[in-house]
Structure 1
Amino acid sequence: MSRTLALITGASSGIGAAYARLLADDHDVVLVARRADRLSALADELRAAGATAEVLPADLGTSEGLGAVTDRLAVGDVRLLISNAGAGGYAPLADVGPDEITRLLALNATAPIQLVRAALPGMLAAGDGTIVTVASLLAFSAGQANPRMPSRTLYAAAKAATVAFTRTLAHELADTGIRTQVVCPGLVATEFNGGAAHDVPTAMAAEGVARASLAGLRLGETVCVPGLEDRTAALDALVAAETALLSGGNRPTPATRYTRPPTGRPQGAAG
């Protein structure tokens, strides 16, 4: 039986390592992360289970690291891309330096798109492929003012972009035989953000996230929310809200609230 080749980023621990272990029975793998020693240890474990495991140390937050991985994808033999690498960078925007903004957006938003772009020609030529990108439930948190949530302006923006990218790409690739999925877990008990979720009772295990994602692929889910029981109702409501915004806002004249005569001083006006 032929084995599918999967490339997994962020594979040295957590969700990425969980994907690798679950796939090892019938996939060969290219393992990508910054920590070469951990990648090598995982590769040895997977080889013992019968998989071919290639190690590719790279920091996707740098142009050199991203280039190394896109070059590997350009070979055209990868049929499953799991883009899992990311960083939180939780802080108020005013506290984040310009160089750090560039790095965080490169890692959390730009790199996954570049990886998909590099993998697509080989998948399209084969008429077969699967693209999985790990985002976060915080992608849907922009309207939430809950003070217990982290300062997340950059992170939420990047993950929201990833959700929009995957959902739109799914329509673009609908007739090609290539599947796409974005995974939006809540708290996960991993090393992410310094392991802050390890002692949180509602945190999911990394293996649970990976198992839900792979099961979601079999179910044809473009958006996988591992902990969400009534997924259909929630996503139907999301699509309905988007449709209302698009159809209601696409008009040749401003809404009436913008054309009424002013009744007082504009909000935020100086005295």
Structure 2
Amino acid sequence: MDTHEEWGPDAGGPATAVVTGASSGIGHEYAGRLAAAGWDVVLVARRAERLASLARRLREEHGVRAEECVADLADAGDLARVAARVAGEDVALLVNNAGINGYGLFTDVDPALLTKVVALNVTAPTVLTRAALPGMQARGRGAVVNVASLLAFSGDLPPDPLPQRAVYAATKGYAVTFTRVLAAELGDGPVRLQVLCPGLTATEFHLTTGREPVSGAAPQVHRDGGMPAPDVVTASLTALRTGETVCVPGLEEARALERLAEAEAGVRSGAGAPLASRYRPAADALR
């Protein structure tokens, strides 16, 4: 499926993309790439100054409509306001990119910050996707991209060099499962779902745990390196055309995702089966 020919700006009628977390990093790159392709954009983020600068540049360079929507999606009122916009008849693409990490030892991190991580990384994309889908289905076109992370697959790997990430990784695991199951629910209908799972990306994401946004008028890049944000977005937009539900920008061997699905099927074989032999001695002792 081509992201423009079938449901983008060239498909007839208005085509607006809503991009959350648009003030820096991956979201900033999505906004620029989509505007260059002719999409009108709704830019959602907490930093008004950065949004105003980005919107102004996109209007001047690409002649598109660029709306600024200053919002903290962890706030219920702001989330409801953005959800109402996402449900608009012109919206054909939703990029749920906003997120924070809340990194730290679980028992040391402020519970309020952990609550904010869950609100922004889990509740917000769920609510916004629910707001977007009915209209997209009725109009017969649309797509939702949920930005996750390869940390969703990090399991019980210990910190160092990985961050202390129990809640963050769990929220990104939710994004992966939510998107995969919802894509299966929608089937071959007119709306496409994708979960984007980048590894370390060269953005400002690691400069803060997320309680407050990074200061400064221009997006920054942390010193940890990683894949350039333009490459991440290129992978995502290409995967939308080719129909990949799970997009891992740095994964050369796509067969690895098939093996993951096969492993999951093996685990599910325990559903409805009798008690496994390793548990039977204890069960017999209780009789």
TM-score normalised over the length of structure 1: 0.91
2:231 is matched with 208
Contact 1:188–1:197 (Cα < 8 Å) also in 2: no
2:264 is matched with 242
Q: Report how far residue 124 of structure 1 moved.
A: 1.2
Any stretches of 5+ residues in structure 2 without a counterpart? 1-9, 209-219
Q: Report how far residue 251 of structure 1 moved.
A: 3.4
Matched, 1:187 2:200: yes
Matched, 1:31 2:43: yes
* Superposed counterparts of 1:127-166, under 5 Å: 127-145=140-158, 147-166=160-179
Q: Give RMSD over aligned pairs.
A: 1.7
Correspondence for 1:221 among 237, 244, 248:
244
- Per-residue CA distance 1:43-79 (angstroms, 9 max, x = gap): 0111011111011100011112211111111223211
Contact 1:76–1:119 (Cα < 8 Å) also in 2: no
Contact 1:136–1:159 (Cα < 8 Å) also in 2: yes
Contact 1:4–1:79 (Cα < 8 Å) also in 2: yes
Contact 2:148–2:197 (Cα < 8 Å) also in 1: yes
Q: Report how far residue 98 of structure 1 moved.
A: 2.6
Correspondence for 1:64 among 73, 77, 80:
77
- Per-residue CA distance 1:2-58 (angstroms, 9 max, x = gap): 452100000011110100111113200000000111111110111011111011100
1:108 is matched with 121
Q: Sequence identity, in percent?
A: 51
Q: How far apart in 1 are the matches of 2:231 and 2:159?
A: 26
Q: Secondary structure at the match of 1:26?
A: coil
Q: Report how far residue 197 of structure 1 moved.
A: 6.9
Matched, 1:124 2:137: yes
Contact 1:82–1:133 (Cα < 8 Å) also in 2: yes
Contact 2:205–2:222 (Cα < 8 Å) also in 1: no
Any stretches of 5+ residues in structure 1 without a counterpart? 263-271
TM-score normalised over the length of structure 2: 0.86
Matched, 1:6 2:5: no
Contact 2:72–2:78 (Cα < 8 Å) also in 1: yes
Counterparts in 2 of 1:261 and 1:34: CA distance versus 1, 3 Å: closer
Q: How far apart in 2 are the matches of 1:240 and 1:252?
A: 18
Q: How far apart in 2 are the matches of 1:61 and 1:194?
A: 19
Greater relative CO, 1 or 2 (CA 8 Å, sep 6+): 2
1:23 alignment partner AA? L
1:54 is matched with 67
- Per-residue CA distance 1:137-181 (angstroms, 9 max, x = gap): 000001323531110000000000100000001111113210000
Contact 1:87–1:193 (Cα < 8 Å) also in 2: no
Q: Secondary structure at the match of 1:253?
A: coil
Q: Secondary structure at the match of 1:95?
A: coil
Q: How far apart in 1 are the matches of 2:89 and 2:15?
A: 12
